[in-house]
Amino acid sequence: MASQDADPESEMPAAAYDERIIDLDFHMNPTEAELVRYVEDPVAREKFETVEFGMAPRKAKWDAAWAVPGGNEGLFTQGRAEVAEDVETVAEYFAIDDPIVNIGLNNTPTQHNPVQKNAIVRAANDFALDRVIPEDLHCLLMVPQWDPEYAVEEICRLGDKDGFVGAYGWFGPFSLLGDPAFDPMFEALVAYDLPLVLHGSLSFWPQDTPVGDGMLTWTEQLGFDWPVHAMLTAVNAVMSGVFDKFPDLQVVLEEGGHWWIPFARYRMDEFYEMHPEDVKLHPRVHELGNERLQRTPSDYLRDNFHVTTQPMAPPERSADFEQMLTQSMAEDMFLYSSDWPHQTLDPATWAFTDRAFDEDLRAAVLHENAAELFGI
């Protein structure tokens, strides 16, 4: 194990700079004015120029500002990448060779007006095409999943452009992928060979429900309701036959945790094997004329899903860490993500300082799985 003691200024262990690291969750935040320049629709644009595109009007919700001593630091703890050069500078600090950039408009799903949010998604994709991809950075293409028809349009408009290596959407309290209305979007994603990367969105558990209003800490809000929604997203897609209809569709759950994988794989299999009769009644499975799922539920999890690592939240003991990585099928399913520049930043130190990682596992998690999935 290489020592990092030689250079006190170094952010990462020395060995990290020799390993290829692909980062699946690198947020770029161009200024609002810059993005608005790319809004084509004059009606939407006029409104963006005069009204802030902030949170939808709703009662105040909990966020990281209440949970860190300095307050208000969560989103930009490390800084703010506005142009491609900023991304490159920061990536070097953290030994990231290939940041896969998203223009993180993660509040978009909760915005109410479809004209405005479709316009800003399109503008962000055009910004990426014009300003980020030409600088040799890979990007995710935002898909307006609240409007599957428009999502298809956007995939067809830009999905074959070099540099867009995947599509970007959100998991959360939104329509689940089991809804057959998403089928045209899945078809387009498969046709363009774009994995669907779903990030947690800012909406959290629906407010004005006993559960949503009952969670008063950031640990509950970000730490647990995102994984619950991520897990449900995965199980719902499996049980509704999404991957029987679209066996080549690949889904990545980003920032939704990963230690739930062992629970989901065994519980899904156990439940399904004991109660298989209702699957054929799902509209998609019914349409396919299938009586049963075509594979064991946990097989879909391994073959059609990946999860990102941040925050890794490793156990103290390496032996425990190693077992959890094995149970979670990390060598097949894990993709490294930093979440730069948020306070939940997770530099890949654990891959170099913990004995739970051997050379093969380190390579799989830090770059091989992502390289294969995104063809980079």
Where along the sequence are the contacts to another protein (CB under 8 A)? 4-11, 13, 31, 68-73, 76-82, 86, 89-90, 341, 343-347, 349-350, 353
Cα distance between the two ends of the chain: 28
Dihedral of alpha carbons 204, 205, 210, 214, sign: negative
Do residues 151 and 168 lie in contact, with contact meaning Cβ atoms separated by under 8 Å?
A: no
Nearest-approach distance from CB 313 to another protein, in angstroms: 11
Cα dist. 57→5, 54, 117, 145, 272 in Å? 50, 9, 15, 21, 41
Nearest-approach distance from CB 219 to another protein, in angstroms: 11
The C-alpha atoms of residue 67 and residue 44 are separated, in whole angstroms, by 35
Nearest-approach distance from CB 26 to another protein, in angstroms: 13
Nearest-approach distance from CB 8 to another protein, in angstroms: 3
Residue among 90 and 167 whose Cβ is closer to another protein: 90
Residue among 86 and 193 whose Cβ is closer to another protein: 86
Nearest-approach distance from CB 109 to another protein, in angstroms: 24
Nearest-approach distance from CB 250 to another protein, in angstroms: 30
Residue among 81 and 242 whose Cβ is closer to another protein: 81
DSSP 8-state class, residue 368 = I
The C-alpha atoms of residue 146 and residue 182 are separated, in whole angstroms, by 10
Residues 6 or more apart from 226 whose CB is under 8 A from it? 171, 172, 200, 204, 255, 256, 257
If we measure between CA atoms, which residue out of 47, 26, 204 comes closest to residue 118? 47
Nearest-approach distance from CB 17 to another protein, in angstroms: 14
Residue among 353 and 369 whose Cβ is closer to another protein: 353
Query: Largest alpha-carbon pair distance within the chain?
Result: 63
Which value, to the nearest 10 degrees, does the dihedral of the CA atoms of residues 211, 259, 67, 316 take? 140
Residues 6 or more apart from 267 whose CB is under 8 A from it? none
Residue among 143 and 324 whose Cβ is closer to another protein: 324
Residue among 74 and 173 whose Cβ is closer to another protein: 74
Nearest-approach distance from CB 185 to another protein, in angstroms: 34
Which element (helix H / strand E) includes 122?
helix 114-127
Which element (helix H / strand E) includes 158?
helix 148-158
The C-alpha atoms of residue 138 and residue 124 are separated, in whole angstroms, by 14
Number of other residues whose CB lies within 10 A of the CB of residue 356: 22
Nearest-approach distance from CB 310 to another protein, in angstroms: 12
Residue among 250 and 353 whose Cβ is closer to another protein: 353
Number of other residues whose CB lies within 10 A of the CB of residue 268: 21
Residue among 236 and 343 whose Cβ is closer to another protein: 343
Residue among 10 and 327 whose Cβ is closer to another protein: 10
